[in-house]
Structure formats: C-alpha cells, structure tokens
C-alpha cells in the first residue's frame, strides 16, 4: 500500500476506510442511475451495468443490485417503462480495505418512507 | 394513433414529432449517463445498457452508442477507470413517427470543442 | 448565422430547429436534475439553478420551472426532504431560432401516468 | 436519538457514522451534479444550489463547493458554457454525528489524475 493516494488516508483505520468507500459508492450509485428508463425487459441488463460500473470504484469487491419488478409493473405508464427511483432499488455492496470487510446495504424502508443506506453485519 | 397522448401532438407534423422525440432522447442520454464509471472492460456492457434504456423512449427505433476506448486509455487515472464524459460518446438514434424517419447524431467536434447534437440525412 | 455549427443544421427549418433544441433541453433538464435532494426550504433555489443552467443551452430564451410543494410535503420521509422526481416538475421552455418561436412543456399527466413533454401553442 | 432509523446504526461508532454519511453525500454530490451546464455567470448560483441540496442529507452540517472559473474559461466551447466535471470541483463537507465531527474533502489531484475524496483532519 505505498501508492501515492494512500498518504491521504493515514488518518483512517481499515474499517473506517471501508465504511467511507462504501458510503461514496452507495451515494454514487443512487444519484448516477436514478432516472434511467427501465422496463421488465431491460431490468436484468441495467442491474448488470450498474453492478459493473460501481465495482470499478476503490475497495468495492462485489455489488448486488435488485430492481423491484413488481414496482415496474405497477407504476409503468402508457409507454411500458418507468424512470428508476430509489424505492425500486435494493443494493448490497461488499467493501474491503486491508483486513477489514463491511457490507453496505440500501433498501427502501416503509417505516421511514426512505431508501436507507446502512452497514449490515 | 388514437391513444390519449396523441391529442397533445396534433400541432406537429410527423417529421417535427420525430425531431422532437429524437432531441428529448439525446438530451436524456447525455445527462443520464455522463458521470458513470467506465473502463475498457465495462465499456461494452455500458454501451448495451445505454442503448436498451433509451430504446424504451417514445419513437426511438434504434440506438447505436460508441464509447471511445482510446480516450478511456488516455484519461484513466490511478484506478483504471474514468467518469464517462460527452467527448467520449458517439451516438446515432433512429427515430420514427408515422411515415417519417430521422437520424439524430451526437459527436464531439474538435472544431467546436463541443459534443454537437444534430440531424443527419 | 455563419457560425461553424450552422452547416450541421442546413437540413432543418427554423421551426424544426427550435423543436429539436427544445426537445434536447427538456430531456437534459429531466435527467440531470431528477434525484436531487429538495425540501420546502430549498425548492426556490433549486428552481432558479435549474432555470439558469438550462438557459445556457442553444436557442433557449426562457425557462420556467415549478416544483410541486404539495408533493414535497406529502412524500417527505423522516428526514424532511425528497429526491426530485418527474411528477413533481412542471416546466415551460421558450425556444427561438431565426424567426420561429416554440414553447415546450413538461407536466405530469394523471391520465397517462407519465411526465409528458409536448409543444404548446 | 431514539428515532426509528437509529436501530440500523447501532453497529457504528459516532465517528464511523460521520465518515459513512460524509462518504454517501460526497458520492451523491459528484454523480448528481456532474454534467450540469455551467458558465462564469451561473457558477455562483450553481454552487449555492449544490450546497443547499447536499445540506439536507443526514448529518451534513455544512457544504462548501467551489467550481474552478479558470477551467470554465479554458474549456468553454463555442456556446460559452461547459458541462460540470469532477476536475472543476473542490468540495468540503462538515459532518457531525453525536460528539464526532469529520471534514470530508474532494479535490482533483494532478498526481493521481483523479478527483480524490478523503477525510481531512
């Protein structure tokens, strides 16, 4: 770990670094891809493209993305597709730095009426 | 063409309608997907996902997207990927309405220093 | 109108050009700004910033943006803000090219369950 | 802190929580606003709108955003504006949770050719 960027992170533990990178990537995912047109036919391909692009980011080992097909079905308007929103998304990021690994989740929680991002144990 | 939305377009010729829908979809494509992390390995999949999502929009018959691999190579930073920008994108949309078909292009033009969107004959 | 870009538009009438530029800017507005966090307190400022940025685009003379405060109130979750969605937006673009002027509208239409973009006379 | 969401964060220290929320908001800022048309005239207003919207997010106390005017000047094409990119942005977020406060930075680093996000002491 003697890459030039590492000097910027000497004030973080491995666990803090994994939490930070996981937060960045979850915020990125939400704000990059919400708004994308999606239908029942294209949901598989969009899930893959989201996963592949977010896996490029630092410390991200794995990305599972699920787009809720029932919500597409229920909210699709006359044209058969919807704009992707946060409440259709369920995401799990596996993030590793040094010897530490954390799992970052996003899911829409009815009780909060909010797509919550949190660390899953 | 007796769908409810068509009454909103009675003031447009078929050609004007195709030009309008093509403009919307090109603006959508640019502003939805620029910023997406992309590498040499993920460019194919991202091109497909962009194409599939934009094909969902009204009147869009075909979408060809090309991401410039040389620009990825030249601008990739320490982490091996870049954020997609307009000057890496070359796009051709085939748009049809009624009996009219137009081709909408976007390409970065060095002479303008600008990713120009225009109608190709 | 002897700027270098104009040669790319010799195949469009003034009205077609205005329709094309209006479509681009409406697609851009929707896909750039949906997802933005917004509350009752920040809606004014966000409307202004959207308007100012879209007015920079070619041929756009005026941009009126309205974000539905009732929808913010009704959908705000525990944290007091929402992610901007297309059904909260009502937009009117005034677009001019040469001697032609068109008004491009976007509004959410309950009958279509869709934020429709169309040309208003 | 007996709000319903807090049970999701019982596995994080106050400092880890601040780091997580700061990461989310920095990723959000980058991916929401890159691509926005901006000129020398609209840069002030865009900085304010970005700041106001990101301050709505959990735990974010203050947001300073600076858009590099020299880069706008140098890269503006024929139309006098550019699409906002990460290398034009310098951002400082002040994040607080419980008794802990962290400062999250984003700046473009020439040595990395990358807009790095890190925690500043």
Average pLDDT, chain D: 94
Contact A118 D24 (CB under 8 A): no
Nearest 5°: the CA angle D62, D67, D70 is 150
Contact D8 A121 (CB under 8 A): no
B14, with CB counted inside 10 A (0-12, 13-18, 19+), is middle
- From CA A102, how far away is CA A21, in angstroms rounded? 10
Interface test with A, best of D2, D7, D15, D23 (most A CBs within 10 A): D23
Tens digits of per-residue pLDDT, D62-90? 999 999 999 999 988 778 999 999 999 99
Long-range contacts of B72-77 (CB under 8 A, 24+ apart): B72/B38, B72/B39, B72/B40, B72/B43, B73/B40, B75/D113, B76/B39, B76/D113, B77/D112, B77/D113, B77/D114
Contact B38 A56 (CB under 8 A): yes
> Cα–Cα distances in Å, from C75 out to A34, C40, C83, C85, D32?
17, 11, 9, 11, 20
Mean pLDDT of D90-117: 95
Measured from the Cβ of residue D1, the count of other Cβ atoms closer than 10 Å reads 7
- From CA B22, how far away is CA B59, in angstroms rounded? 8
Q: Which of D18, D51, D55 is nearest to D33 (CA)?
A: D51
Contact A77 C31 (CB under 8 A): no
Local structure of residue C39 (DSSP, 8 states): -
Q: pLDDT grade, residue D44 (50/70/90)?
A: very high
Average pLDDT, chain B: 94
- From CA B28, how far away is CA B65, in angstroms rounded? 13
- From CA C29, how far away is CA C46, in angstroms rounded? 12
Tens digits of per-residue pLDDT, B85-109? 999 999 999 999 999 999 999 999 9
For the cut 80, the answer to whether the pLDDT of residue B78 exceeds it is: no
Neighbours of chain C (3+ CB pairs under 8 A): A, B, D
For the cut 90, the answer to whether the pLDDT of residue D121 exceeds it is: no
Which of A35, A45, A78 comes nearest B49 by C-beta? A45
Contacts of A74 (CB under 8 A, 6+ apart): none
- From CA C110, how far away is CA B11, in angstroms rounded? 22
- From CA D94, how far away is CA D82, in angstroms rounded? 28
- From CA A36, how far away is CA B35, in angstroms rounded? 13
Tens digits of per-residue pLDDT, B28-42? 999 999 999 999 999
Rg (CA), chain A: 16
Contacts of C7 (CB under 8 A, 6+ apart): none
Contacts of D68 (CB under 8 A, 6+ apart): D87, D88, D89, D90
- Chain C positions touching B23 (Cβ under 8 A) are 19-24, 26-27
Considering Cα of D82, then C108, then C112, then A34, what sign does the dihedral take? positive
Per residue in B39-49, is it b (16+ CB within 10 Å) or e — as a string?
Answer: beebbebbbbb
- From CA A5, how far away is CA A98, in angstroms rounded? 15
List the domain boundaries for chain C.
35-120
pLDDT at residue D1 in the model: 46
Tens digits of per-residue pLDDT, B42-71? 999 999 999 999 999 999 999 999 999 999
Local structure of residue C62 (DSSP, 8 states): E
Contacts of C57 (CB under 8 A, 6+ apart): C21, C24, C25, C28, D37, D79, D81
Measured from the Cβ of residue C33, the count of other Cβ atoms closer than 10 Å reads 26
- Which residues of B does the annotation place in the binding site? 21, 117
- Which residues of A does the annotation place in the binding site for substrate? 21, 117
Contact B85 D86 (CB under 8 A): no
DSSP letters, chain B, are: ---GGGGGGTTS-HHHHHHHHHHHHHHHHHHHHTT-EE-TTTHHHHHHHHHHHHHTSTTEEEEEEEE-HHHHHHH--TTS-EE--GGGEEEEEEEEETTEEEEEEEEEETTTTEEEEEEE-
Whether chain B has a CB inside 8 Å of the CB on C107: the answer is no
**Could you tell me how many residues make up chain A?**
121
Tens digits of per-residue pLDDT, C46-90? 999 999 999 999 999 999 999 999 999 998 877 899 999 999 999
Q: Tell me, which fold does domain C35-120 have in CATH?
A: 3.30.1300
Which of D4, D15, D26 comes nearest A24 by C-beta? D26
3-state secondary structure of D55: helix
Where is pLDDT greater, at B9 or A5?
A: B9
Where is pLDDT greater, at A9 or D2?
A: A9
Whether chain B has a CB inside 8 Å of the CB on C108: the answer is no
- DSSP H helices, chain D, are 14-33, 43-55, 69-75
- From CA A98, how far away is CA A56, in angstroms rounded? 17
pLDDT at residue C111 in the model: 86
pLDDT at residue B1 in the model: 46
Local structure of residue A31 (DSSP, 8 states): H
Interface test with B, best of C28, C57, C120 (most B CBs within 10 A): C28
pLDDT at residue D36 in the model: 98
Q: Tell me, which fold does domain B4-120 have in CATH?
A: 3.30.1300
pLDDT at residue A120 in the model: 95
Whether chain B has a CB inside 8 Å of the CB on C23: the answer is yes
Whether chain B has a CB inside 8 Å of the CB on A28: the answer is yes
Tens digits of per-residue pLDDT, A82-104? 999 999 999 999 999 999 999 99
For the cut 50, the answer to whether the pLDDT of residue A1 exceeds it is: no
> Cα–Cα distances in Å, from D41 out to B18, C48, C95, D72?
34, 13, 20, 10
């Amino acid at each position: 770990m003697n890459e030039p960027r590492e000097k910027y992170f000497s004030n973080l533990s491995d666990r803090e670094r994994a939490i930070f990178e996981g937060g960045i990537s979850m915020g990125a995912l939400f704000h990059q891809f919400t708004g994308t047109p999606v239908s029942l036919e294209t949901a598989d391909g969009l899930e893959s493209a989201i996963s592949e692009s977010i896996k490029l980011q630092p410390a991200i080992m794995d990305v599972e993305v699920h787009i809720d097909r029932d919500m597409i079905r229920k909210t699709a308007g006359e044209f058969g597709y919807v704009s992707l929103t946060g409440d259709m998304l369920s995401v799990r990021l596996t993030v590793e730095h040094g010897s530490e690994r954390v799992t970052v989740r996003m899911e829409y929680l009815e009780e909060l009426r909010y797509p919550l991002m949190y660390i899953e144990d």
